Copies of this chain bind each other. A is one copy, B any other.
């Protein structure tokens, strides 16, 4: 690691001023061909690479977009996907703790075995950044990220995309005064950030209507972990479709994030005991649906024979599960690329008002609703 060469070194070797060196890299047309060659030769010979820090400082822009994502440990959705994979791979008879024996690497538990929601979104961001000549900086956080964590990212990008519930609202508001911030969900509060979301309500209404009209179901219960704005919007779609059809709206709480599988087992048991098992569980997210399919299988209840189950997201896990999962697929990659696009536009030319986009979703009719079995 020899001392890093700078514009000064290149300029000296090429016999020009540093301005000329800078120009040959940033505005080649302003430099005569012959001198340009000389500069490039010198740069090559010295192994020169422009320092992004200096460049960013001088220009007042970094040329990078940040994505603030989850950290991956202990998230229940990840758990659910893990379990789904095990069930699929080993058949319903196998307990899910077999997982570790499949992939165990003592020092290296592998928590991430399906491309989940945020993975696909990240891919979209990457693609758009690349297309527009930006680079991507990845940060990870959890609700309680410290100021320092986030400054580490926010200080080095021109725009920031964040998943919901990864950063405290107050910090987000502060950051958004300096750089554009786009949030990837329906609004939890009116914080005037840029925003890209999907047709949560419309999609869920569509799905619910499918169960009502195509399958003639009437006892349909909505389930799913509370606390996310997306969940509320989806519930609204379900509720609307049920009202229109003159059906009762029913929803079940979840006691908590500890051992969700056992929690769902208890719920199923209680419902069956009281004779109130619904004809369908409409779940707020795929991960929850997989959890319910698992629990129903354990209880010896056939899906979709006795009870239908649906999800929302469109994870690959729902495509390889048995039965395959009827769900609403979000355009996750597009979600990411749209977010990046908004940010880059804002960097270039700020708009006075927050940009809000809602992307269409798509009903994926598969087996778990009772179709095609």
User: Which chain A residues have a beta carbon within 8 Å of chain B's beta carbons?
Assistant: 1-2, 4, 44, 47, 49-57, 62-64, 71-72, 85, 88-89, 102-105, 107-108, 110, 112-115, 119-120, 123, 126-127, 130, 133, 135-140, 151-156, 174-175, 177-180, 314, 316, 319-320, 324, 329, 331, 333-334, 337, 350, 362, 364
Knowing A85-B319, A102-B319, A123-B72, say if A135 contacts B112 (CB, 8 Å): no
**Is A331's CB under 8 angstroms from B63's CB?**
no
**Is A120's CB under 8 angstroms from B115's CB?**
no
What residues on B are CB-neighbors of A138 within 8 Å? Answer: 126, 135-138
The residue from B52, B54, B85 contacting A316, defined by CB atoms under 8 A apart = B85
The residue from B47, B105, B334 contacting A178, defined by CB atoms under 8 A apart = B47
What residues on B are CB-neighbors of A72 within 8 Å? Answer: 123, 127
**Is A63's CB under 8 angstroms from B1's CB?**
no
**Is B151's CB under 8 angstroms from A49's CB?**
yes
**Is B2's CB under 8 angstroms from A177's CB?**
yes
Shortest C-beta distance, A80 to chain B (Å), equals 15
Taken together, the copies of this chain in the complex come to 2
The residue from B56, B102, B155 contacting A50, defined by CB atoms under 8 A apart = B155
CB pairs A–B below 8 angstroms (30 shown): A47-B175, A47-B178, A49-B178, A52-B56, A53-B55, A53-B56, A53-B57, A55-B155, A57-B57, A72-B123, A89-B320, A103-B314, A104-B362, A105-B329, A105-B333, A105-B334, A105-B362, A108-B334, A110-B333, A112-B123, A114-B115, A114-B316, A115-B115, A115-B119, A126-B140, A130-B140, A133-B152, A135-B138, A136-B137, A320-B320
What residues on B are CB-neighbors of A63 within 8 Å? Answer: 152
**Is B89's CB under 8 angstroms from A324's CB?**
yes
**Is A174's CB under 8 angstroms from B47's CB?**
yes
Most buried by B among A49, A53, A135: A53
What residues on B are CB-neighbors of A319 within 8 Å? Answer: 85, 89, 102
What residues on B are CB-neighbors of A85 within 8 Å? Answer: 316, 319-320
**Is B115's CB under 8 angstroms from A113's CB?**
yes
What residues on B are CB-neighbors of A55 within 8 Å? Answer: 53, 155
Shortest C-beta distance, A352 to chain B (Å), equals 11
Shortest C-beta distance, A219 to chain B (Å), equals 29
Shortest C-beta distance, A77 to chain B (Å), equals 15
What residues on B are CB-neighbors of A324 within 8 Å? Answer: 89
**Is A153's CB under 8 angstroms from B174's CB?**
no
Q: How many angstroms from the CA of A373 to the CA of B177 in the assembled complex?
A: 61
**Is A156's CB under 8 angstroms from B52's CB?**
yes
**Is A137's CB under 8 angstroms from B139's CB?**
no
What residues on B are CB-neighbors of A89 within 8 Å? Answer: 319-320, 324
What residues on B are CB-neighbors of A364 within 8 Å? Answer: 102-103
Q: How many angstroms from the CA of A62 to the CA of B63 in the assembled complex?
A: 14
Knowing A57-B57, A334-B107, say if A177 contacts B47 (CB, 8 Å): yes
Closest to A337 in B: B108
**Is A49's CB under 8 angstroms from B155's CB?**
yes
Q: How many angstroms from the CA of A350 to the CA of B85 in the assembled complex?
A: 42
**Is B110's CB under 8 angstroms from A120's CB?**
yes
Q: How many angstroms from the CA of A333 to the CA of B113 in the assembled complex?
A: 11
**Is A152's CB under 8 angstroms from B135's CB?**
yes
Q: How many angstroms from the CA of A139 to the CA of B65 in the assembled complex?
A: 12
Q: How many angstroms from the CA of A331 to the CA of B47 in the assembled complex?
A: 34
Shortest C-beta distance, A131 to chain B (Å), equals 10
Shortest C-beta distance, A290 to chain B (Å), equals 14
Closest to A331 in B: B105
**Is A329's CB under 8 angstroms from B103's CB?**
yes
